[in-house]
Amino acid sequence: MAKQYFLGIDTSTTSSKALLIDQEGKVVAVASSPHTLQTPKPLWSEQDPREWWEAVSASIQQVLTESGVGPERVAAVGLTGQMHGLVLLDEAGQVLRPAILWNDQRTQAECDEIHARIGKERFIQITGNVALTGFTAPKILWVQNNEPQVYAKGRHVLLPKDYIRLKLTGEYAMDKADGAGTVLFDLKSRNWSVEVLEKLGIDRSWMPPTFEGPEFTGGVTPEAAAATGLKEGTPVAAGGGDQAAGAVGVGAVEPGIVGLTVGTSGVVFATTPSALIEPEGRLHAFCHAVPGMWHFMGVMLSAAGSLQWYRDTLAPTMSFDDLLKEAESVPAGSEGLQFLPYLSGERTPHPDPLARGAFVGLTIRHGRGHMTRAVLEGVSFGLKDSFTLIQNAGLGTITQVRGSGGGTKGALWRQILASVLDAELVTVNTTEGGAYGAALLAGVGAGAWSDVPSACKAAIKITGSTTPDPAQVEAYRKSYPLYRELYPALKSSFDKMR
């Protein structure tokens, strides 16, 4: 039997990536084509979905050409991409307006309207979340309130990767992980909430059928085959939003194993065996791309971005390696110096756009090494806030943390993270995130692996491990409560600084 290959497609904010893996999970080829971003007004963030399709088509063609793999050997395609974006289509499937993206901030009035119509506590109990400007539901209401002529023509709501699915297969469909991220889902039943849709005046027929991550949702059409080079009829799996697919890509698919991404922003991703909800909605609670699983997600806005700002502002001529070397000799706790990493406001656990960054506790004794280490520790404490919420919401013991992103590349920061979180921090052999997870989901759908955990065990290998340092654990046990006291103490001052 000829070797099989699986294609993962990731339509992110910046580009569309195509990634081809073989049936052992080895990456064979990767290609990426860029997108442009439009900000026609302050706080607005939009893209033209038709540009995504052009980028996806180019990336698929490039991967097939560079790999030399014939299209008949691509057994299945999996999809992932930026979450929450609104793609509004008419009866014929034509785009009615530019997609409103996850990072668009125009919809605060609509978020307040959602809470008023449904009741904030009731909304949290149904969807697992509070209404935030990033989510899809308030974007639909914004079009309803501000562009009634456009809204009147609307017949279909899709998310970014699902527009790519429509172009590939001609089918309207969505996976359950991304569906939950619209906050129009009943989290427990893993499908659309009739109550939420009715109270928001959104027609149920606009919302597509939903599928578990590995399930097939259609096959490549003749038109899409001509545009991409794929074989007509190639099955396309449901896939998952970028965070759920990224968790599959690092093997965070079982309770107790947590995914930790330390990029510009920071994400803590924890698989849950049931639809757990943080009572105040301080954590995102969504369905997982793994069938029958859910997840918690905590997001901090300036993780490695805090270190980038610090270096660029205070030590622009130094390399990161030299900067971090100075911090190695500073004891855990930075001799009382604390850093608040709220340089861009915050999401978890403080959903506060007015939160600000700060160094607190500076003395004449502190030097640059202390400040550098305080930045690393402050970001680590911010991530621990999400871990603490996840554990208190019922997840239980966290046995292993799977790290990814630029912030986990340095040994010093890995050690600080492991000690602050008091958990083993491991790195893995996969670095392609969501696209890799989408390809694994396609492989499961095609029968290459029996289920998602089996696929992850076969394809993903641990490449390094950092265990907590007992002395550091004790030091951080004492300094973390001080960190926790700072935001409440400074919040009124932050509000006055707006």
Last residue in a domain, options 209, 239, 269: 239
Domain for residue 35, yes or no? yes
CATH for 474: 3.30.420.40
Average pLDDT over residues 185-199: 98
Residue 271 lies in a domain: yes
Catalytic residue among 242, 312, 469, 495: 242
In a shared domain, residues 148 and 179: yes
Average pLDDT of the residues in 274-280: 92
Query: What pLDDT is attached to residue 442?
Result: 98
Measured in degrees and rounded to the nearest 5, phi and psi for residue 380 equal -65, -40
Question: Does residue 198 surpass a pLDDT of 90?
Answer: yes
Q: What is the pLDDT of residues 239-275, one digit of tens each?
A: 999 999 999 999 999 988 999 999 888 999 999 999 9
What pLDDT digit, counting tens, does each position of 60-98 carry? 999 999 999 999 999 999 999 999 999 999 999 999 999
Q: What's the angle, vertex CA 229, arms to CA 227 and CA 234, rounded to 5?
A: 105
**Same domain assignment for residues 365 and 489:** yes
> Are 210 and 331 in the same domain?
no
pLDDT of res. 432: 84
| Mean pLDDT (the chain, rounded) | 95
In this structure, the answer to whether residues 12 and 77 fall within a common structural domain is yes
Is 495 labeled as catalytic in the residue annotation? Answer: no
174 and 321 housed in the same domain: no
Q: List, for residues 94-113, the tens digit of each pLDDT value.
A: 999 999 999 888 999 999 99
Residue range 161-169: average pLDDT? 98
Residue 425 falls within a domain, yes or no?
yes
pLDDT at 1 over 80: no
pLDDT over 90 percentage in the chain:
89
Within this chain, do residues 269 and 404 fall inside the same structural domain, yes or no? yes
* Same domain, yes or no: 289 and 342: yes
Asked whether residue 2 carries a pLDDT value surpassing 80, the answer given is no
Q: Do both 471 and 497 map to the same domain?
A: yes
In a domain, 89, yes or no: yes
Last residue of a domain, one of 217, 239, 261: 239
Q: Is residue 65 domain-shared with residue 199, that is, in the same domain?
A: yes
What is the distance of C-alpha 17 from the center of its chain? 16
> Does residue 396 carry a pLDDT above 80?
no
More confident position, 264 or 377: 377
β-strand pairing of 27-34 with 266-272: unpaired
Q: Using one digit for the tens of pLDDT, what is the confidence trace for 245-254?
A: 999 999 999 9
In a domain, 244, yes or no: no
Regarding pTM above 0.75, the answer is yes
**Is residue 245 domain-resident?**
no
Instruction: Tell me: do 227 and 372 sit in the same domain.
Output: no
Whether residue 325 sits in one domain with residue 215: no
**Number of separate domains in the chain:** 2
In the predicted model, is pLDDT for residue 393 greater than 90? Answer: no
**Domain co-membership, 222 together with 116:** yes
Residue 326 lies in a domain: yes
Its domain, for residue 90, covers 5-239
In a domain, 246, yes or no: no
Of the residues 204, 239, 274, which one is the last residue of a structural domain? 239
